[in-house]
C-alpha cells in the first residue's frame, strides 16, 4: 500500500455562487501549468461545465469530488493519486463555502485543504473585511489560505479592501492574496445551466491566459514552487477498493457525445469500462448512423439549443428506433430523455418534433425545475447522483421508480424514472461509480 503523500493544495471557495471561483481556479491552474508545473484540478460537488474549463487550463482530466455523491473513499483515493506526481492540486468549491450538506467547508476540514476565499468586491469596501473574517472563523478548525478580491475597480479600491482585512483590534489579519481588476477580457460567459462550454468559444484559451496574466500581478500569482509549500497537505493512502465485477463483459455500450449531449462524467465512462463494457461514441447532432451495440447511453446536455438539428436527424433516429425494437436497453438521462419525447418546446415557446420513443412533451421553463443531490434505489443497489434542469415533462407514463433527495423525502419529491419497453429515462444524473451493480442494471435487459 502506498504511504501518505504531501503536495501543495488549495480549495478555492467564495461566499456565494457567481463570485468568480471558476475564473480564479482556472487562472491559477493555467498560470502554473504554462510555467511547466504539473497541476491537477478537481471540482467539488456535481457539475459538468466548470470541469471543462479546469481541464482546458491544466491539460489534465478533471474529476468531481464530493463527500456525499462520490464518497469519502473516492475523494481520498483521487487526491492521493494526484499528489503522487502533481506540483499543485486545486479544488474548486461549490456554491458558497458553507452551502450544502456536505459543503465545500466540510471537504476542506476533512482533508486539511487550505481555503482561498474569492470575494466579488465590486460593490463593497470596509464590509470586505467583515465578510472575509466571517468566512474564516464561522467554523472552527477550517484551514485557511487567505482572501482574493475579485472584480476590483482600481488600485485605490484595492488598497481600501486590503486595509479592511485588519479587522477589529486583536483579531488578527486574514491574509491578503491580492486583487483582480474587473476586465471583460477574461470574463467567462454564462447561460441557463451555468458557464458556456469552453469548447464553444474560439478564444477560450486566450481568456484563460488573460485571467492568468491578471492573477500573476497578485501576491497569490507570484508564489513560485517554493512559495506554494506553505499549503502542503499530506494525503493519506486509500483503503484497498473492492474489485468491480465485470457485469458488462462482452457488451458494447454506445454513447451519444457532442455539443447537445456533453454532460458526461469521466468517472462514469471509467465505471462502464471497469464493468467490462466496450464504449463506442456517436453524434446525434451530426446525424451519425447508429453504431451497433448492446445498449445505448444518452447523457444530458443541451438538446434545447439544438432542437431543429436534432429534429432533422432522421438517420440517427431510425437507428435508435431499430435498437429499441430489438429490445436492446437505452438509458437516457435529463437532456437525453428530452430527445425521446414527442415534442420539445424551447425557451421561446417554439415547439420542435423530437424522436417519439416516449409519449409526451418537454417544455423549457424560466426557472429551475429541479436541483440537488438525489439517490435512486434499484434492486441491484442505490445509485447516488443529482438533478439540475430547467424543463418539465408532461407524459402519461407512470414512473417505475422515484429518486429521493439526499436531504430526505420531505425535502422534495425526487425525479421520476420511466420505462417503456427497452427505454429507461429520468432527469436523474447518475454517478455510476457509487454502485457499479446498479449501473450495470441500467444497461442490461429487464425491468429496473
CA distance 19 to 40: 22
Q: Can you give the pTM of this predicted structure?
A: 0.93
Predicted local distance difference test score (pLDDT) of residue 412: 52
Cβ neighbours of residue 110 closer than 8 Å, sequence gap 6 or more? 67, 72, 75
Q: Supply the CATH classification number for the domain 252-442.
A: 3.40.50.880
CA distance 53 to 68: 24
Predicted local distance difference test score (pLDDT) of residue 169: 47
Residue span(s) of the chain under CATH 3.40.50.300 come to 5-235
CA distance 154 to 156: 6
Residue span(s) of the chain under CATH 3.40.50.880 come to 252-442
Predicted local distance difference test score (pLDDT) of residue 186: 65
H-run or E-run covering 61 = none
Predicted local distance difference test score (pLDDT) of residue 218: 96
3-class DSSP state of 133: helix
Catalytic residue among 262, 334, 393, 435: 334
Predicted local distance difference test score (pLDDT) of residue 240: 80
In the structure grid, which three cell numbers stand for residue 298, read together? 444518452
Predicted local distance difference test score (pLDDT) of residue 407: 75
Predicted local distance difference test score (pLDDT) of residue 416: 95
Partnered with residue 253 across adjacent β-strands are 279, 295
Cβ neighbours of residue 334 closer than 8 Å, sequence gap 6 or more? 263, 299, 300, 301, 387, 388, 389, 426, 427, 428, 429
For 5-235, CATH number out of 3.40.50.720, 3.40.50.300, 1.20.1530.20, 3.10.450.50 equals 3.40.50.300
Q: Are 407 and 371 in contact (CB under 8 A)?
A: no
Predicted local distance difference test score (pLDDT) of residue 446: 85
In the structure grid, which three cell numbers stand for residue 434, read together? 457509487
- Say whether 334 is catalytic: yes
* Three-class SS of 136-163: HHCCCCCCEEEEEEEEECCHHHHHHHHH
Q: Output the tens digit of pLDDT for each of the chain's 448 residues.
A: 468 999 999 999 999 999 999 999 999 999 999 999 999 999 999 999 899 999 999 999 999 999 999 999 999 999 999 999 999 999 999 999 999 989 999 999 999 999 999 999 999 999 999 999 999 999 999 999 999 999 999 999 999 999 998 765 445 556 899 999 988 666 766 555 555 666 677 788 999 999 999 999 999 999 999 999 999 999 999 888 788 999 999 999 999 999 999 999 999 999 999 999 999 999 999 999 999 999 999 999 999 999 999 999 999 999 999 999 999 999 999 999 999 999 999 999 999 999 999 999 999 998 888 889 999 999 999 999 999 999 999 999 999 999 999 876 654 568 999 999 999 999 999 999 999 999 999 999 987 8
Only one residue has cell 458557464, namely 195
Amino acid at each position: 500500500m502506498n504511504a501518505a503523500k504531501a503536495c501543495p493544495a488549495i480549495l478555492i471557495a467564495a461566499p456565494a455562487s457567481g463570485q468568480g471561483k471558476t475564473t480564479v481556479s482556472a487562472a491559477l491552474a493555467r498560470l502554473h501549468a504554462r510555467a511547466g508545473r504539473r497541476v491537477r484540478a478537481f471540482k467539488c460537488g456535481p457539475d459538468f461545465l466548470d470541469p471543462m474549463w479546469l481541464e482546458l487550463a491544466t491539460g489534465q482530466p478533471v474529476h468531481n469530488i464530493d463527500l456525499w455523491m462520490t464518497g469519502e473513499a473516492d475523494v481520498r483515493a483521487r487526491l492521493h493519486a494526484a499528489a503522487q506526481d502533481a506540483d499543485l492540486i486545486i479544488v474548486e468549491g461549490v456554491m458558497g463555502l458553507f452551502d450544502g450538506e456536505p459543503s465545500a467547508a466540510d471537504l476542506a476540514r476533512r482533508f486539511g485543504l487550505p481555503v482561498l476565499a474569492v470575494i466579488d468586491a465590486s460593490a463593497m469596501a470596509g464590509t470586505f473585511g467583515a465578510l472575509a473574517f466571517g468566512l474564516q472563523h464561522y467554523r472552527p478548525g477550517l484551514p485557511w489560505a487567505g482572501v482574493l478580491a475579485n472584480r476590483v475597480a482600481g488600485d485605490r479600491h484595492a488598497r481600501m479592501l486590503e486595509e479592511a482585512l485588519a479587522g477589529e483590534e486583536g483579531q488578527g489579519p486574514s491574509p491578503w492574496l491580492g486583487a483582480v481588476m474587473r476586465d471583460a477580457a477574461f470574463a467567462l460567459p454564462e447561460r441557463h445551466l451555468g458557464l458556456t462550454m469552453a469548447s464553444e468559444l474560439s478564444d477560450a484559451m486566450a481568456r484563460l491566459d488573460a485571467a492568468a496574466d491578471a492573477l500573476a500581478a497578485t501576491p497569490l500569482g507570484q508564489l513560485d514552487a517554493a512559495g506554494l509549500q506553505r499549503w502542503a497537505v499530506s494525503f493519506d493512502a486509500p483503503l484497498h477498493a473492492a474489485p468491480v465485477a465485470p457485469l458488462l463483459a462482452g457488451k458494447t455500450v454506445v454513447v451519444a457525445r457532442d455539443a447537445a449531449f456533453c454532460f458526461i462524467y469521466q468517472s462514469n465512462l471509467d465505471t462502464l469500462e471497469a464493468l467490462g463494457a466496450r464504449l463506442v461514441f456517436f453524434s446525434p447532432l451530426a446525424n451519425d448512423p447508429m453504431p451497433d451495440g448492446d445498449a445505448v447511453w444518452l447523457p444530458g446536455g443541451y438538446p434545447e439549443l439544438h432542437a431543429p438539428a436534432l429534429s432533422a436527424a432522421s438517420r440517427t433516429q431510425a437507428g435508435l428506433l431499430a435498437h429499441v425494437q430489438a429490445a436492446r436497453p437505452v438509458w437516457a438521462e435529463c437532456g437525453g430523455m428530452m430527445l425521446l419525447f414527442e415534442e420539445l418546446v424551447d425557451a421561446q415557446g417554439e415547439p420542435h418534433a423530437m424522436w417519439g420513443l416516449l409519449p409526451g412533451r418537454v417544455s423549457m421553463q424560466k426557472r429551475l425545475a429541479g436541483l440537488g443531490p438525489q439517490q435512486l434505489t434499484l434492486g441491484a443497489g442505490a445509485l447516488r447522483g443529482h438533478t439540475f434542469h430547467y424543463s418539465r415533462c408532461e407524459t402519461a407514463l407512470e414512473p417505475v421508480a422515484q429518486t429521493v433527495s439526499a436531504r430526505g423525502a420531505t425535502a422534495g419529491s425526487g425525479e421520476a424514472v420511466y420505462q417503456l419497453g427497452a427505454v429507461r429515462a429520468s432527469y436523474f444524473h447518475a454517478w455510476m461509480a457509487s454502485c457499479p451493480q446498479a449501473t450495470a442494471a441500467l444497461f442490461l435487459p429487464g425491468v429496473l
